Structure 1
Amino acid sequence: MKFLLLITIIVSFILYRRYFPVFGVDLINLKDPEPKKIYVIDIRDYNESYKEPIKGAINIPIAYLKRNINQIPKGDLYIVASGSLEKNFGIRLLRQKGFRIVGYTISDNNKISLKENSLKIENNYC
């Protein structure tokens, strides 16, 4: 019984860290950040950030974030992520390291999804 309770607590903690929304950080559209005040951190994968680059952003994919934390300047951070899982994990990690997150954006992947759907449809008819 204690073992089952321990497993439940561990699984709950893992699910919380990844999927539960982060409070206190708002979804905002940042048009032109002031370089001295807000630093834009792009935690999307290199393949995504290459297709849709963000001017002035520091690109550190989520997989390399912990390893390259020293490349992030101290100050207010704005996060660009490709999904909510990536956003939640990145914000929690950066907060844990002492950074202040002022906002985030989740990149729009509708174009990629439409292309994938059309490819699937074409492949089904072949």
Structure 2
Amino acid sequence: MYFLVIITFFILMVLYRRHMPVWGIGELREISNVLYDRVDVVILDIRDYQTSIKNQIVNAYCLPLPYLNRHYTDLPIEKDIIVVASDQVEVNLGARFLRKKGYNVVGFYLPSQVRKDSYNYGVQCANEK
């Protein structure tokens, strides 16, 4: 019985860390030129190198999520951080890790996410030019 409770608790903790949103950070719809000019904000791209090279963010620190544990000390701790990720799970894992290490994560941006108001199925119809 205790074994089952421990396994259930472990599974719930893993699901919480990966899928529950991090409190206090908001999603940015786009990264504007105003953010590039601010000196108190760091844009951290935690996507894979193969993904981030296709859609590069100007002036962003490119540090994939698996390398974050080794190289997080290269980031300035006194600045706010905006996380650029490919999906919500990467945002949750990266933001929780950085907050645990004392960094202030203020927002995230998902560049590959298709918005609800956009029309993009990946296939061009015959009537679309």
- TM-score after normalising by structure 2: 0.82
> How far has the Cα of 1:107 moved from its partner?
1.8
- Which residue matches 2:59? 56
Structure 2 CA distance, aligned partners of 1:69 and 1:60? 9
2:44/2:84 contact within 8 Å kept: yes
1:25/1:103 contact within 8 Å kept: yes
- Please list, as runs of the form range in 1=range in 2, the aligned pairs for 1:1-126 lying within 5 A after superposition: 1-28=1-28, 29-32=30-33, 33=35, 34-74=37-77, 75-108=79-112, 114=122
SS at match of 1:39: strand
- 5+ residue gaps, structure 2, are 115-120, 124-129
Alignment length (residue pairs): 114
Q: Which structure's residues are more often helix, by fraction?
A: 1
Which consecutive aligned stretches of 4+ in structure 1 deviate over 6 angstroms post-superposition?
none
1:83/1:107 contact within 8 Å kept: no
Structure 1 CA distance, aligned partners of 2:103 and 2:31? 18
- 5+ residue gaps, structure 1, are 116-126
SS at match of 2:13: helix
